[in-house]
Amino acid sequence: MKSHYDSKQTKIHEAVRKHYEEHLSKKPDAGGVLKLDVSFDATWMKRGHTSKVGMSVMIDVYTGFIIDYEILSKFCLECTLKKNKLENKKITEETYNTWKTKHDADGSCGSNYEGPSGGMEVEAARRLFARSRDLKFEYENLVSDGDANSYKAVLAMNNGNGPYQDTKVTKLECINHVQKRLGTRLRKLREQEKVDTITKTGSKIRRSLLGGRNKLTDTAIDKMQSFFGKHIRDNVGADYITMKKAVMSSFHHIFSTDEKPRHGLCEEGINSWCFFQKALAEGKNREEIKHKKSLVVNPRSRGAE
């Protein structure tokens, strides 16, 4: 990957600079350094905090191009094979030490990180920010996944002055991750709130207080996630009250029924995303407007208003 990316890096950076100048009216400063809005994230060879290899990428928000990346590894195949030969007495310790010294000196060792796997993302963030000016970039706005550890580590660079002398790094929340966390926490809450119940056959089981028909089914949670993300995107830059009203409207909208319509917070008007408010704007009476079964959060239904 490294050799392939290195061969394309110059063209990628040129394309990013051209896009910023032509579409965002942003040019490099007197020193040739361009300030970027980037997204930062990491992935590991395997899930959990035991992976020996992790990769972090810095992606330009507007073009989607990878500006830079860092692969961290706690494992080197050559070192492992050599150690096995030493342990099996196929080579002497002197031979191993001579080889190891040369191996480290010429930069061919695959291991470039010591520490817990969970710290790879933080260390990668430090390295990527530390060399960004070598690429003639400064990462001014950082879109991340809500994990503040990497951002804190970046701000702590250079004795707490941050990675750059004059440019402040601002963290922006990724709406996709915020949306995802809503679903994760609702499912966790549903599993936590359980009580012992007796079935018709006399068996004792634990059932969720929040799960089941007309409650927090997977269908309901998926809808809430979808609406939640939509309302945040539609109200970026709005004040707190407006954002709160928009977000809460989805909760009431999803659990609304013919018997108990709950669309008071939904957007009004003929162009409303809410079928109920749209019908009202078209002149229909409240009693005429019917909810589909999917809005009652029937887990067997498909589709939604």
Mean pLDDT, contiguous 10-residue spans, the chain (305 residues): 76 95 93 94 81 93 94 90 90 90 86 89 94 96 79 92 91 81 87 81 80 79 87 87 89 86 91 92 90 51 39
The pLDDT value recorded for residue 162 is 92
Under 8 Å between Cβ of 4 and 65? no
The one-character DSSP state at 268 is P
Extract the tokens encoding 204: 């004792």
Of 263, 192, 251, nearest to 227 by C-alpha is 251
* Helix%, strand%, coil% for the chain, nearest 5: 45, 15, 40
Can you give the pLDDT at residue 178?
81
The whole-number pLDDT of residue 134 equals 95
- Give the pLDDT confidence score for residue 223 in this predicted structure: 84
* Residue 259, CA distances (Å) to 224, 282, 285, 296 in order: 21, 21, 14, 11
**The pLDDT of residue 288:** 87
- Give the tokens for residue 117: 């796997």
| Residue 303: per-residue pLDDT | 37
Which pLDDT belongs to residue 157?
94
